Each structure stands twice: as structure tokens, then as C-alpha cells.
Structure 1
Amino acid sequence: MEEENYLKNIKKGQKVEILTKSKKLVTGYVEELASRTEFHRHGIMVMLTNRQVGRVQRILSDLPESKLIPIIKKGETYNIEFKKDILWSINYTEIQIKESKSYELHTFRHKASKIIIAKSICALLNSQGGNLLIGIQENRSQNKEDEIIGIEPDLERLKLQGKAEGLDAYKRMIIDDIIRPYFPPKIYNHLIDFIKFEFEEIDKKIILNISVSRSASPIFLNLEGKKMFMIRTDTQSRQIENEELVDYCMKRFRS
């Protein structure tokens, strides 16, 4: 059995050789999958980026390296932050909450993991913008690379909650459970101007890249009635207040 005969083996971006209807062999990169069946004995039908259409005869290369790979290898920076998941706290028991040393867990309980994500997004908005990658386990040891674990554990948690499943539902959860309740209305109402979501598969694991734009005005979180202002300092997101907050805003948001 040949791999080019199975739909599951053909992906956008792959370099392939196709046989057109005019019986001409053409090499190029897959732009669209035209076949609906899982198997075809003459090869899966595709359209290439050069607009040629035909059945795949040979797969010449796997997908090109993800643009996120160099970012992940470089590690966290002033405008890049990694988070393993978003829903880790929703199933914590009372004993786990009590024994935890996490301020967020003691204060916000099962909402803690979502509020941590809100703080990270807010910090990027108030700094120079950047990217929050979900599905990356940060390894603090200098001898180990950060680990790609994917958002699949979160997708399973979402499923167990009895809510809608899939990537669209995951994105909707972030908007409805994090952006809408904790950010000012202008962020939610003009979301595309500030925050973009992109899912990408790396090593057969799904990563969510949340791209955050630099805000032209201060953004305060509303956490259980308390206003909070976050910024990025080196590789950390942190809260500032009082004189430090006034000084920062005068310098960062001056006309």
C-alpha cells in the first residue's frame, strides 16, 4: 500500500508530485485537498500552489518546519511567554487547593488557571505586545529545552465538562471565560484589533499561538471587583501599582 493513496498522509504545505488529467507529472506544494474519500488507489486528488490539479504520485517532503519552532527553541523572552495549559485548576480538590502554595489558587480557586492566562495577556497588551503559546511546558533547568506537550489535555478537560468540543470551542472558551469577564469592553468588542488565535500542529501536537498587539492605552483587569494592571519585566508578567503604576503609564502611554 502506498502512502500517497491515503488522505490522512496528505497535508497542506507538503511537497508532492502529482499526475494531472493530461497525464503530466508536476511537482509543487499542496494548497488544497480535493479528495473526500479516505483512500483512492490512483492517489489523493490535490491542488498545488501553482494551481495545477492532479492525483498525488509521490510525497517528496514532509511539512515545512513550523514558524514557531525557532521561537520555542529560543525560550521565553520579554514578548514571548509559554503556558502548559489553561484549564489545569478546574478539577482541583479542596485538599489540593488548601495544600497549594499558589496565590491564584488560594484566591480564585477553580478559576485560577484562567486568571493566570488573563494576567499574561494583559501584561503583553500593556507592554510591547507579543505571543502567548499554550501547550508548551517551560523547563527552568538550563540543560533542558522547553517541552511541546500540546493542548490535548485541555481539550479532554473541555470534553469532560460536557461543553462543545474541538478547537473552535476551545477558542470560544478563552473569549467567553477569560476575555469577556476580566478585560474592559473595548478589548472584547474589538477583539481582532488586539488578540488573534492560531492553532498549529507541531510533532503531532496542537499548539495555540495567542498573538497580542501593543495597546495604545492602559488596560486594567477586573478580577472579582479588583482592578489590576500587569506588565512584562524580562521574562515575567507582574503586577504594578501606586507610584510605579503612575510612572509607568506616564512613560509608556504618553502622546
Structure 2
Amino acid sequence: MNGITSLNKTGSDQTDTWIDFKHTDGAFTVKMPLPPQEVKKELANSTHPGYPPYLINLYVAVDSVNLVSYLVRYNDYPAGLYLADKSLAFNSVIKELESKGKIIKAPIVVFKDGYEGRKVDLSIAETYMQIQVYARGNRIYLLMKQNVNSAQAAVEDQFFDSFHFEKYAPNKGVAFSVGNIDLIMPEKPFKSIDVKDEDSSFLKEDNIYYATNKNSGGVYAIEAGSCLNMQESKSWIAYTLKLWPA
């Protein structure tokens, strides 16, 4: 859960009118002082080498008159991984924040549109940051408001209250075939590189294919393997479909 950095003091002077920023793929809407700049990053999957990287989506707007920076960040877990424990994810983010600065207000539990999150304030390099982080299915959202001119909290505004989750955009998907089955997956699947214990499975050449819906973060998987029917001496293929919804 890297990618949190202190923002610099550059930006636009267009602070007279806040805009409604709606992101279709990210499925959220928020008010910001000006249209944000989009930044995309890839972070190596250090816990699962060989798996796809984390794709970090950041949207940054800087009020250069009041010297306040605003950021919305979201990322899905890579194909093959799923957010099973929200508390662990929240603790990971908070631990990262503690490594970068000083916690001013202890984390508290918050909810947004029914989704659980955490709220925490901290001081980094003589600036004051207010952070909210939420888990929605297999996706993590982080909101940050940073007073880059002072170690005190910035004046309250509509940023945090205006943030809301939207419906997921439809996903057309792509055609995928394995064995003698054809189906639609949300993207080209990733073939798991995990080694299975052959002694514990009746399937041979057992493979798992994962795909993530980029519009929702939902994880899809199909497991396929051949098995020899000892009585009829015929091979057959077993399929298991799995879904970790958004």
C-alpha cells in the first residue's frame, strides 16, 4: 500500500469555484477546487513475486491560494489476490503513515455510504494531513487533504463530505477458452504460478486463471484440470468457477 507522498506547493489559482469530479472507472464522485491531475503508478507485488503489480490511480488538485492539496487514490488488489480482511488493510495503511510522520489524532472507524473506513490525522514535514481510507470489495480508496502551509489543520471545506461511491460501470469483458469451455472474463486472465501439491489433488495439470474487473475490483477465477477415469480409462475435465464480488 505504498504511493503516499507529501505534495509540493505548486498548482493553479482557480480556487473561486469548486467542481464536481466524477470518475466512472473508479466509481466515485467528489468536489474539488479545480479539475485534478491524473497520475498512474505501478507498484511491484512484493508479497507475491511473479503476480501482476498493484495499479495505483491518483487524482490531485492543489489550491495554490490557500496552499491546500487534495488527493483521491484508489487501487484494486492484483489478479489472484483478494482483500479478505479489511482491518489488516487499514492497519497496513496506518503503519505506512506512521513511518512517514507523526500521528496527531488516533485512527477512528468511519463509514461512507455503508462502507467501512478509517480516519486519521498526522503531521509530515511541518504540514498537516487529514486522511480517510475506505474498503469497497476488493478495492481500497484513500482521500487526503494536506495543509502545505502550516502544521495546523486546514479550514474545513466540502471535500470529505462530498465524496460518495457511484454504481460500477458495465464491463463488456473478453472471450476466454480453456479446455472445452468458452466464457467471458472481465479481462485477459492471469494464470496462477502457484505450485499445487499433486498428492492432495485428484486433478492433473490443474490450473487456475484469475481476472479482475477494472471497473469494480471484483475478482473472477476458473480452475480447470484433467482427471483420468480409472474405470472407463477416459479423461475428463473438471471446472470450478469462483467469484469474489466488489
Name the TM tier (shorter chain).
under 0.3
- Given the two structures, how large is their TM-score scaled by the length of structure 1? 0.23
Larger strand share, 1 or 2: 2
Larger helix share, 1 or 2: 1
- Given the two structures, how large is their TM-score scaled by the length of structure 2? 0.23
